Structure 1
Amino acid sequence: MVDPEDKERLSQLDARIEELKDAQHPSKPHQEEHYSQAQVAWRMVTELVAGLAIGFGIGYGLDLVFGTSPLLMVLFILLGFVAGVQVMLRSAQELQQQNSAKADEDERD
């Protein structure tokens, strides 16, 4: 069995180990990490291309079903482009809000 004195020493050692771990690796979740501007740009490009690809797929499929050659494909590509731009703008707005909140926090410090 472990002596009460040893239990206390072990708990103190555990506390010191946890303090050192926290000092080495801040406990920030992955979602709150800093992202570079290149990562944000790639995210926006991916969102735009996804909108275009989905629009193309829907338009092409409907053209095959209804036999309306390129009409619906062009229409849905344009709609996919508009949707992609909207998502890009929303991402930019989200990034701007995060940056302004961070700037406000830095001003307070």
Structure 2
Amino acid sequence: MIYHLALAGDWAAAGPAGEYRVSTLGRTLEEEGFIHASADLEQARGVAGRFYRDVAEPLVLLAIDEDLLGCPVRREVPDGMTEAFPHIYGPVPVAAVVSATPFAVEDAG
């Protein structure tokens, strides 16, 4: 299982489309080249604390089954970081998301 923080509105729009194509805040899969993800809940909390503190729109934490993606997932270390993060190199089929849980940035600690 890997995780992705999504704006609730972006996730809601994925339902009718059948796939999710948002990489990160304000950037699409096409713009970024991959979809950012986290390897576990602790990593997702760290991402929330670093990048989502000022986001007013409700967030959801997507739990994604890698086996259902149908595209490559690579663990890569971003510039300036020391830990590897999963990067999803294609759209996320809605069927690959096993849960979408409301997430409050305060949960990030």
Superposition TM-score, scaled by structure 2 size: 0.22
- Structure with more of its chain in strand, by fraction: 2
Which structure has more relative contact order (CA 8 Å, sep 6+)? It is 2
Higher normalized helix content (fraction of residues) = 1
Larger radius of gyration: 1
Scaled by the length of structure 1, what TM-score is found?
Answer: 0.22
